[in-house]
Amino acid sequence: MPPDIVDKSHLSPYHLRAIVLDYLSHSGYTNTARAFLRDSTIRHLDMDGEEVAQVEPGPSHLSESTLKQTELRNQIRLELLSGRVDEATNLLNKYFPSVLSLEDANPTSTPPSHGMDYTASTSVHPAHLNLNLRIQAFIEACRTRPLHYPPSTHESTPDPQEVGTASEANTIDQQTNLLNCARKLYAYLKMLPSKGDMERYTKELETVTGLLAYKVPEDSSVSGYLEQWRREAVADQINGAILYHSNLPPISQLEFHTRYNSTAWSLLHELKVKPRPEASLPPTGVQKNPKSTKDTEGLEFCPPFDLQEFLDNKS
């Protein structure tokens, strides 16, 4: 029988606190993590009423260096979501040099395993990351209309480099620069680790460089490359690569346990497995007999796990 999302018989308050801190840090909520860390700390007093420093178990404490690293990930993500690819690349090279370093690249290496691991769905190979960043930089250079990323709290006016019209953006000098950028993209193909990668990216470049054929690419058939989702995809991949090269999991403990329970309970339901009488089951939304003390009463098979139903039941 799969474990519940939270097994109260095995998890201490320290473990539950660690899960919350891990989620906040992993998701980039550093200010909230600091506040939660401060407000949830158990303060011990001596006989005189003076506070005594206590060393907490490692998992329930976040170091300042961990939070600083999270803030750097946030900054890199913000740069990419705002279309500032070169700024993001500079931050990567300064604070996370292994992410884009081809010298350290080893496509067969994996970080140490700790029980059940969740593998990210996007590549973390430096050659792929370098090329994807350069492709995104080329896309940003092809824009004739600025795509601002909210919220903009420090800029009241558009960046001078972003202001312009389609006619200004398509001067001879601009077109020459874009052609040079396109040629450099094909040079990056030589860094790819396999022939299959080269073939796949060659087709990608043929489509992306089609932006050059339009004075206003935002109105063209390839305008999808200029939408915000493209920035988000690159930002997600880079964030995952930073976590990988830092030997950190790609998802939080909370998300991992949620995925695990959802998969396990759904499989048990599909296989029509009967629940044990003492089992603690996920909520089903079915009205239970108020006189019953067992979750399994009235259920022929194990129910699937529904996250929304679980959250509604706990609220």
Q: Give the residue from 130, 78, 80, 134 showing the smallest Cα distance to 100.
A: 130
- Segment 68-83 shows an average pLDDT of 97
Residues 154 and 303 in one domain: no
Residues 54 and 188 in one domain: no
Residues 176 and 38 in one domain: no
Q: Give the residue from 154, 107, 145, 143 showing the smallest Cα distance to 127.
A: 107
- Segment 112-126 shows an average pLDDT of 69
Would you state the structure tokens that stand for residue 118, as one six-digit string? 């969740």
Is it the case that residue 233 has pLDDT exceeding 70? yes
What domain range is 33 assigned to? 1-62
Q: Give the residue from 6, 5, 15, 8 showing the smallest Cα distance to 59.
A: 15
Residues 43 and 80 in one domain: no
- b/e map of 195-219 (b: 16 or more CB within 10 Å)? eebeeebeeebeebbebeebeebbe
For 174-230, what is each residue's pLDDT tens digit? Answer: 888 999 999 999 999 989 999 999 999 999 999 999 999 999 999 999 999 999 999
162 vs 129, higher pLDDT: 129
The answer to whether residue 255 is domain-embedded is: no
Residues 229 and 284 in one domain: no
pLDDT of residue 2: 46
CA angle (34, 36, 38) in 5-degree steps: 70
Cβ 301 vs Cβ 275: under 8 Å: yes
Residues 193 and 309 in one domain: no
What is the tally of structural domains in the chain? 3
For 235-277, what is each residue's pLDDT tens digit? Answer: 999 999 999 999 999 999 899 989 998 999 999 999 999 888 8
Residues 13 and 98 in one domain: no
pLDDT of residue 289: 53
> Alpha-carbon distance 44 to 32, whole Å?
23
251 alpha-carbon distance from chain centroid? 7
- Segment 108-125 shows an average pLDDT of 63
Residues 2 and 81 in one domain: no
